[in-house]
Amino acid sequence: MKTTINHYSTNAEHYYSLYQSISASSVHGYLEQALANTQPTTALDVGAGSGRDANWLAAKGWQVTATEPAEALLKLAKQHSNEKVSWCNAALPALEHLPKAQQKFELILLSAVWMHLPSEERPAAIKRLSELLSNTGRMYISLRFGPSDPERPMYPVSYEQLQALAADNGLTARNLNPVPSKDGLQRSDVEWVTVELLKTGKK
């Protein structure tokens, strides 16, 4: 992922403005519904980008740990961050250097991140994320369907692959929108599917 991280850092101002141009609530309508009756506790936003989603969750009362490995984008996000958001430079699959190494999270969000991980790194990533998810927590991963970008490589994704990886790590996956949703940035060739993952046996 080094090429992708460097690209986001080099073009930090562009991506910061781009991500801030669309509201978190319009992107994450499914999450708004899922969290409606949930007591805010601890959340982890992986690949948090501009901090849009982390700040949105923090405004709802969540104590958010936000990870962003693109240094320049991380710097911009921290300048406009809610006080309930703690930032760190950490990348999948290992997610090293989290502020509290043993902390478990009730909510984990990966928005527009999974497609950047090569298939060979995904098993380790899911294993690590499963370790970070509390027994009663929920994880949400968005899957991007559309063309790649040579400057920030994207790899094929599928619900079936994620479901299998989840099962291998004690997680149950549920496709929240079997009919892919349109792209929030109005790209006609890009669609999204959101997957919810829970510890097996939990509801």
- Cα-based distances in Å from 124 to 90, 93, 129: 15, 6, 9
CB environment 33-66: b (16+ within 10 A), e (fewer)? ebbeeeebebbbbbbbbbbbbbbbbbebebebbb
Tokens of 104: 């478990």
For residue 173, pLDDT over 70 is answered with yes
Q: Which of 43, 48, 42, 45 is nearest to 15 (CA)?
A: 48
Would you state the pLDDT for residue 79?
94
φ/ψ of residue 17, rounded to 5: -65, -40
Residue 126 host element (H or E): helix 122-132
pLDDT bucket at 172, cuts 50 / 70 / 90: very high
pLDDT bucket at 164, cuts 50 / 70 / 90: very high
pLDDT tens-digit map of 74-131: 999 999 999 999 999 999 999 988 887 668 999 999 999 999 999 999 999 999 999 9
φ/ψ of residue 45, rounded to 5: -110, 110
Non-local CB neighbours of 194 within 8 Å, separated by 6+ positions: 30, 140, 141, 142, 143, 175, 176, 177, 181
Q: Structural domains in the chain? A: 2-12+39-92+102-199 (3.40.50.150)
pTM metric for this prediction: 0.93
Q: Are 53 and 45 in contact, with CB atoms under 8 Å apart?
A: yes
- The residue written with tokens 């527009």 in the block is 112
Tokens of 79: 């300048």
Residue 188's Cβ-count burial label (10 Å; 0-12, 13-18, 19+) is exposed
Mean pLDDT of all residues belonging to the chain = 90
Q: Considering just the CA atoms, what is the radius of gyration of the chain in Å?
A: 16
Question: Which residue did the predictor score with more confidence, 152 or 51?
Answer: 51
Would you state the pLDDT for residue 179?
63
pLDDT tens-digit map of 16-49: 998 999 889 888 887 888 788 889 999 999 999 9
